[in-house]
Every structure is written in structure tokens, then in C-alpha cells.
């Protein structure tokens, strides 16, 4: 008996650790499974690999991470395991995930989940070429120094019954970085179900009202990107889809991931010292020294900025809030130039950026402003003594008593975050 049980035990454990699967022969896929150093996760439902430490920090959506989690439900997560799969469309809070195929997957009736960090020379060479080919403008000089490959091989859906037990999907995520920029390759070989039977779908045919999500969710409710097929029946066509934005093999989608994205474009951030954000603009308030309109304009220009133009009531409220706070803290009375002048043609106001001033549009003039306006008083400011309404003043001092603006606000456009490396 003893001689029989030992080999049986050995066989069982071999079957578990080196499952005899045949990796897909798909040009988009990186090597995985038997013959690689892949970790094979135990069969699971709502499972996770647990925290996987990384030898290189992975830049992701404006942060860097030194560990990640490979989760059963078709996603890699950062900052913690994500064992559920939300059907709510990205962007959502929590779920800081790269979602290859985010739905209720299980691997106890079919499928294997493999993953590994690798700096294997062949893999890095291939990743370097793939990224350079896909992003030629940015990355002629990109050299991959690290990758992480996670593969969901012939996984099934939870809640599968009858024919549903035969439905399988195979897909892969490849994370690539040079330590500065980062990219993710989403690879698809076959998709046979859209939504699990356990999450409101049909367990026999794998369809449902909330098909799987494909994309990236930053976890803050704002930053995300989604594949055009995400949450649609087109998911079945992922294996033959070609990304129109980049050149690469069929069945592959790409995203650059070091910058946070909002849809398809990098989220904009403020340049340093211009930390106050107003829509597309970033602002910096100069409280002193007092400057003439032209002086204020020149200071802004020297910073690569322009005088902040107040276009709406919301802008006014925001500025007034900032000034009121400053004034109450300091006991000072500060007003601001608003980037509007009729210096060139008396009575014809123009915005500092050259856009025409809409005389019937937003223009909260103070009482008496028009009477006060003459050929000597050509520059407009928000006047604290006039209940924060618009008033005109000489563009250069000396100003009349209690009527001179003494602060200004410079504005720069928010810009895509540049990697600081």
C-alpha cells in the first residue's frame, strides 16, 4: 500500500503545479504557462494571488507601486486585492484596477491563472519593440527594463450551468515600464462569455445585461480609460479587434499608464506654484507688490502665463472667495485686475487674450463704473469697495485714493503630467 500511495501523491501534486495546458499560439501573446517561470494560482472563485512584490516600481496613473495583485475576476489591482467585479461603468471609486475582462470568473471547473514578473532579455527586447512600434512619436528611444505578465487561460464564468460550463475565455495583460513611463498591453485570444451567470447573466449562454468591463479604473471616481467594446456584446470580437490608434497585432489594445487618464487623454495637472485649478486653467495670485496693469501683465508673461480672465459668475465667486479670505486674515484690502481694458480704443473693451468682450454677456459692472470710465481710466478690476463688482481705473499709478487695485492673478493652462524622470 505504501509503495502505491507515494507515487499517487507525487502525481497529484505534479498535476496541480504544472498543469498540462497548451498555451495559445497567438502572435499577440507573450509566453506563459508551462516552460516559463509563471506562478499558477490555485483554482478559485473571487480569489487573488495575494500581494506580489515587484523588483521595480510600476508607475501607474500618477503614482508608483511596488506590489500588485492578480485577481480571479480578470483584473490586476494596486493597493489591495480586488476580489469582486463591479458592473458599474468606470470611473468608480475603489477598484484601482487594470481590467482585462472584469466579470465574475471562476477557475474551479475550467481554466488557469498564471503570472510572473520578468526581466528576461527576450521578453524585454520584445516589449521594447512592441512599445516603440505602437508609440513611435513618443518612444523611439523607449527601452523596457521590466515586465509583468498575467494570463487567464481558458477561464470560465461563475454560475455556469449546462452548456455554460464549456464557455471559456483566454486573455493576458502585459505591464511594461522603463522605470519612468509605463504601458499595458491587453491581449485577447478567445472570449466565449460576456457576463457570468452569478452576476445577473445567463449561466447557460454567458450573456447578460452587464457585460464585462475592459479598461483601467484609477479608483478615485475620476480617472479611467475604457476599451470601446467594454460592456457591450462586441466583447466577443476582442480577439480580432485591431487598435486603430496604434500599429500592432490583432487582438491587442494598448494604453500608456504612468499618467492618469480621463478617457483617452491624459489628465491635466497644474505646473508647480500654479496650484489653484479653475477648469483648464491653473492660477497663482500675486498679493504684492502692487503692480500697474501693464506691470501685472508683464510679470505674468515672464512666467509664461497671462492675466486671469474672469468669464463667469463662478469665476467671480471663486476669486472673491479667495480675496475675502485673504483680506479677512490680513486686514488688507486687495482687489484684482481682471484682464480687461479699453486702452486701445476708448469704450471698446477687449480681453487680454484678444477675445472680444461681449457687451451683453457676463459683465457685473459696479454702479457708476461707466461714468467713471474715461480716456484716462482704461483697466478693469474687481473692486472690494464696490461689493466686488467691476470698476475701471488708470492702468498705471498713481491711483486715486482708495481706488487702486493691488493684486493680480496669473493663469497658465493645465498640462499633461510629464514623467519626472
Q: Give least dist CB 253 to ligand NAG, A.
A: 25
Residue nearer to ligand NAG on the CB measure, 45 or 303 = 45
Q: Give least dist CB 314 to ligand NAG, A.
A: 14
Residue nearer to ligand NAG on the CB measure, 108 or 242 = 108
Residue nearer to ligand NAG on the CB measure, 205 or 327 = 205
How far from chain centre, in Å, is Cα 295?
38
CA distance from start to end of the chain? 64
What letters, b where the CB count within 10 A reaches 16 and e where it falls short, cover 331-366?
A: eeebbbbbbbbbeeeeeebbbbeeeeeeeeeeeeeb
Q: Are 381 and 337 in contact (CB under 8 A)?
A: yes
Per CB under 6 A, residues contacting ligand NAG are: 45, 106, 108-109, 202, 204-205, 207, 358, 360-361
Q: Are 66 and 55 in contact (CB under 8 A)?
A: no
Residue nearer to ligand NAG on the CB measure, 55 or 360 = 360
Q: Give least dist CB 193 to ligand NAG, A.
A: 10
Residue nearer to ligand NAG on the CB measure, 87 or 177 = 87
Q: Give least dist CB 73 to ligand NAG, A.
A: 13
Q: Nearest Cα to 282, choosing from 290, 292, 272, 291?
A: 272
Residue nearer to ligand NAG on the CB measure, 248 or 339 = 339
- The backbone torsions φ and ψ at residue 343, rounded to the nearest 5 degrees and listed phi first, read -65, -35
Q: Nearest Cα to 283, choosing from 415, 406, 410?
A: 410
Q: Give least dist CB 67 to ligand NAG, A.
A: 27
Q: Give least dist CB 265 to ligand NAG, A.
A: 26
Q: Nearest Cα to 192, choosing from 182, 181, 202?
A: 202
Amino acid at each position: 500500500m505504501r509503495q502505491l500511495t507515494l507515487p499517487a501523491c507525487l502525481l497529484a501534486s505534479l498535476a496541480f503545479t504544472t498543469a498540462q495546458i497548451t498555451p495559445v499560439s497567438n502572435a499577440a501573446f507573450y509566453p506563459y504557462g508551462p516552460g516559463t517561470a509563471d506562478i499558477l494560482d490555485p483554482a478559485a472563485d473571487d480569489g487573488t494571488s495575494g500581494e506580489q512584490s515587484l523588483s521595480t516600481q510600476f508607475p501607474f496613473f500618477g503614482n508608483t507601486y511596488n506590489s500588485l495583485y492578480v485577481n480571479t475576476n480578470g483584473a490586476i489591482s494596486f493597493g489591495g486585492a480586488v476580489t469582486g467585479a463591479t458592473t458599474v461603468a468606470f470611473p468608480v471609486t475603489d477598484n484601482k484596477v487594470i481590467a482585462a475582462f472584469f466579470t465574475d470568473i471562476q477557475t474551479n471547473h475550467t481554466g488557469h491563472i498564471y503570472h510572473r514578473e520578468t526581466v528576461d532579455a527576450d521578453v524585454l527586447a520584445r516589449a521594447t519593440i512592441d512599445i516603440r512600434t505602437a508609440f513611435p512619436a513618443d518612444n523611439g528611444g523607449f527601452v523596457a527594463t521590466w515586465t509583468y505578465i498575467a494570463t487567464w487561460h481558458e477561464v470560465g464564468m461563475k454560475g455556469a450551468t449546462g452548456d455554460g460550463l464549456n464557455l471559456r475565455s483566454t486573455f493576458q495583460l502585459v505591464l511594461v515600464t522603463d522605470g519612468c513611463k509605463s504601458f499595458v498591453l491587453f491581449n485577447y485570444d478567445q472570449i466565449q462569455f460576456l457576463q457570468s451567470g452569478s452576476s445577473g447573466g445567463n449561466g447557460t449562454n454567458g450573456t447578460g445585461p452587464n457585460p464585462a468591463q475592459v479598461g483601467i479604473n484609477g479608483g478615485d471616481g475620476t480617472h479611467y480609460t475604457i476599451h470601446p467594446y467594454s460592456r457591450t456584446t462586441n466583447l466577443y470580437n476582442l480577439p480580432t479587434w485591431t487598435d486603430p490608434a496604434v500599429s500592432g497585432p490583432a487582438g491587442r489594445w494598448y494604453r500608456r499608464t504612468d499618467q492618469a487618464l480621463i478617457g483617452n487623454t491624459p489628465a491635466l495637472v497644474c505646473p508647480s506654484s500654479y496650484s489653484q485649478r479653475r477648469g483648464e486653467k491653473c492660477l497663482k495670485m500675486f498679493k504684492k507688490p502692487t503692480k500697474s496693469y501693464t506691470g501685472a501683465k508683464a510679470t505674468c508673461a515672464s512666467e509664461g502665463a497671462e492675466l486671469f480672465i474672469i468669464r463667469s459668475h463662478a469665476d467671480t465667486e471663486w476669486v472673491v472667495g479667495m480675496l475675502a479670505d485673504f483680506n479677512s486674515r490680513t486686514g488688507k484690502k486687495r482687489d484684482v485686475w481682471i484682464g480687461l481694458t479699453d486702452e486701445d480704443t476708448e469704450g471698446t473693451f477687449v480681453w487680454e487674450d484678444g477675445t472680444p468682450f461681449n457687451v451683453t454677456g457676463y459683465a457685473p459692472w459696479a454702479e457708476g463704473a461707466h461714468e467713471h470710465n474715461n480716456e484716462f481710466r482704461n483697466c478693469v478690476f474687481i473692486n472690494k469697495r464696490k461689493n466686488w463688482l467691476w470698476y475701471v481705473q488708470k492702468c498705471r499709478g498713481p491711483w486715486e485714493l482708495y481706488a487702486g487695485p493691488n493684486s493680480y492673478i496669473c493663469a497658465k493652462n493645465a498640462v499633461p503630467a510629464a514623467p519626472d524622470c
